[in-house]
């Protein structure tokens, strides 16, 4: 299964991602939350953790929400 790392999702914003992680606490918190959720999804999808489909779907929705929030910040930066 593929991980959805932000640097791979938004390669055109790699430097902005780095800069915002350093200077913007809100961005850093969203970034950390995104990677925590993404890692949990990856663990479930690869069989390293078991969970109900409903929980996996909720995690996926949260990942999309966080990704959208991060993208909006990156576009405005």
Q: What is the pLDDT of residues 35-76, one digit of tens each?
A: 999 999 999 988 877 778 999 999 999 999 999 999 999 999
Q: What is the pLDDT of residue 52?
A: 87
Q: What is the pLDDT of residue 71?
A: 97
- With contact defined as beta carbons under 8 Å apart, do 34 and 63 qualify? yes
Q: What is the pLDDT of residue 1?
A: 58
Neighbouring residues of 62: CB distance < 8 A, sequence distance ≥ 6: 37
For residues 3-23, average pLDDT: 92
What is the model's pTM?
Answer: 0.88
Q: Where does the chain have alpha helices with state H?
A: 6-9, 14-23, 25-45, 53-76
* DSSP code, position 60: H
Q: What is the pLDDT of residue 76?
A: 95
């Amino acid at each position: 299964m593929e991980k959805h790392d932000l640097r791979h999702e938004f390669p055109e914003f790699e430097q902005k991602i780095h800069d915002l992680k350093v200077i913007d606490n809100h961005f850093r918190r969203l970034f950390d939350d995104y990677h925590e959720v993404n890692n949990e999804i990856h663990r479930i999808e690869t069989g390293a953790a078991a969970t109900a489909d409903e929980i996996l779907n909720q995690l996926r929705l949260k990942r999309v929400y966080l990704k959208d929030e991060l993208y909006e910040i990156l576009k405005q930066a």
